Structure 1
Amino acid sequence: MFKRTLGIAAFCGLAATAALAGESRPVRLVTYFMVPGGDDHAGLRTLATQYDAVILHEWSAGKLAEFRQANPQLVCLLYKSGMGLHVRNDVESVEFYDNVINNTSLNSSSWFQTDSQGNRISWDWDGNGTVDAYAMRPESTGWQQFFAQKVITDSLEQGWDGVFADDLWTYRGVYGAPSPYSSDAQLQQAMVQFLRYQQNTLHQYGLWFTGNIGWFTVNNVPVWQDYMAHMDAGMQEKFSPEDPYQWYTQMNELTQAMSRRHHMICIRYGAHDNMRRALYSFCNALLVTDGSRLYYGYIPTTGSSRQPPYYSWYDRASLLGRPMGPLTVNFSQNYGHRRFLNGHVYVNPTSATKTIPLPAGVWYNQSGQVVTSVTLAPYSGDFVLNRP
């Protein structure tokens, strides 16, 4: 099999990973499922040149060649659940690998989590009353091997750079499903076995192993640290909380992850025209990025467009230059600040409006106007530059 060794080198920072439009942007851009249709060639090319990474279902595999032509550096990750097999034997599923493959429903009982009566545990991720998948035992060597081989085959045949594994659970009872594990720690140890096997195996083929950690800290235990030790990138899907305590906790976690040279994927959902939330979350990404390893995506929950948004501040942020120090928190006034080579970033994670005086110098706002202070509405962010 062909080994995509360039992919691993790029993701580990040994080669350029930035899209053509974002070579100097301190935050990379990722889209999560949102992608134009296959007949929208202009839209596909625009996405490839504006963004740095995509996480997509396998039905988008036919778009990868067009992506590569527009931007050979684009990172393309295949989405699959790392904890589920489809409950049906007679249907196809893009979220899960199908139960029917290799007769797993008949011959691989040790792969599945079971309740006290021996029944397979299933789960319903969106709470719509439809059972979506069987819960797998991450410590099962059979399941580990099956998942890795499917990812390798799909990636090398379809052109993916690796996998994004969802549902990397950090506690028992996710989606209300019962658990056969005696403690959260036991589940976490089992999950680490799965993560270690996937990363070691996929790296042999030059493929990346990434995934969604979900809850980074459980009962004050920083579970993310053990998980990230065996992943090429981890997702924080609850990025940019609008709560001071949660905000501070998350910023601290992500700052630690960046200091350990981890790649992070930070996703924020919101209305497509909610400019306040979109800029707030982007500024939070600027507060914690190391300048190259943080991938950020604002995913609209409204609107009919399938084109990922590209806001004006994405380009303007490229003028900030490199970070000149870590995030600092002004606890007396409750705001976050970070200095860059050519500007300053400010975030207000509270419910009160704040006016923050700028340091000495000439500073320009998003409109190119000279300002001496920034006024931040509740849960908002902004940055200023030393040039128009």
Structure 2
Amino acid sequence: MFSITRRAVAKIALSGAIALTAASSAIPAFAADKITVGALRFTSHSPSFVAFERGYFKDQGLDVEFKFFQAAQPMAVAIASGDVDYGVTAISGALINLANKGAIKIIGGALQEEPGIDGQIILVSKQAYDDGVTSPAELKGRSFGITQAGSSFHYMAHKIAQKEGFDGSEIKTIPLQKVGAIIGALKSGQVDSWTIVPHIAKALSKGPAVEQIGMVADYIPDYQVTTVFTSTENAENRQDLTKRFLKAFSMGAADFNAALVDKTAGDQAAEDMVVLIHKYVYASKPYEKAAPSIRNGAMRINKDAALNVTNVKDQLAWFQSEGLVSKDITIETLVNTDYVDTF
């Protein structure tokens, strides 16, 4: 028989703890996957900002860096080149052509027009308005600002013309490359008209140089304004990474919708959401001036990144009818439906 003193027990325990600590420190921690996310400084891109700020990307093992753009087509090129891993923006001719080359895939939906929620607004310069362009029917023969040929602005202009009964070619589309350049041209009367998301449109129409004449939703019901897309490599061979990105993005979208679209989360949640978004949208403006515009830009982001394939098919058909993309491209070439619900 022998006895162990309390001091001996303490020494044994201490030496065991030290050994355990040393062993655990020798186990390498798994590093987060670094990804670059493309975005525009629009309220409609808020799900990505929310997912970043609230740690949803981090919770999914993603170390996110943002890269900001001023138009859709350069982002598509950046996805194809590998400079950006995931992006959210409108469908463009460049995006479709890159998909046809096997470089990128649409994997989900984001911003969508919805009845009862303010969406994209049709604007005209005060000069054009005073000259009789007081409704979209008078856009025939008038100029319309777009970023590039084959952009979403180009698509919207032609769909407006189609419903008003005249050919899209009878609207003079003026490529100005950047949203900021279109704003300047519209305010100065260098272009007659434009369409844009509400956080920009409402601010412009409150000034003396721009008038509102209609809503895009009246011309393109259920328009899938923006989509989530990535490289074909990510979509087909990095499925776990892509699922984690979409999960975090969808969580950000749910918070955004609850706070500013459905307004079910309460006043404080809405205020907190606007404060968060202000870090990225109108960040150079004082909060008091930026907040109303951010609230005005709250359009529906599809739950769980569901994708309106019906409208995407319509967009593809329009690009093909204009000769902007090959007539041989199928919806399967453009969209990978493995990740989200489609309708």
Structure with greater strand percent? 1
| Fold agreement, TM-score > 0.5 | no
TM-score when normalising by structure 1: 0.26
**Rg larger in structure:** 2
Select the structure with the greater relative contact order (CA < 8 A; seq sep ≥ 6).
2
TM-score when normalising by structure 2: 0.29
Structure with greater helix percent? 2
